[in-house]
Amino acid sequence: MKTLCVHYEGRVQGVGFRYTVKNLAREYDVSGTVENLPDGRVELIASGESDEVDAFLEGIRTSHLAGHISLESPQTIPPSESLRGFAILP
């Protein structure tokens, strides 16, 4: 299992970023959350088998969202047993 916390910077709020990420997550065997941060970034938590998490992130990079992302900062974090499904957080 692999769990990543990824911060996205750029024009990532107010462009449907979270909803697109949630829809993309359905195509992969991943669980997690996506939320807007007060500083204008978006935080993604993604957990699953390493190849699925990597493919999911690549799916985000190659989607129409790519034009809105100026920086992607992934960090490995400890897995969380509480992650089930994929949710947009307020």
Which residues are known to be catalytic? 18, 36
Query: In what order do the strands lie in the sheet containing 30-36?
Result: 69-76, 2-10, 42-48, 30-36, 86-89
Q: Select from 3.30.420.10, 3.30.300.30, 3.40.630.10, 3.30.70.100 the CATH code of 2-78.
A: 3.30.70.100
Q: What is the 3-state secondary structure (H, E, C) of 57-77?
A: HHHHHCCHHHHHEEEEEEEEC
Any idea where the domains of the chain sit in the sequence? 2-78
**What are 25-69's pLDDT values in tens digits?**
999 999 999 999 999 999 999 999 999 999 999 999 999 999 999
pTM over 0.85: yes
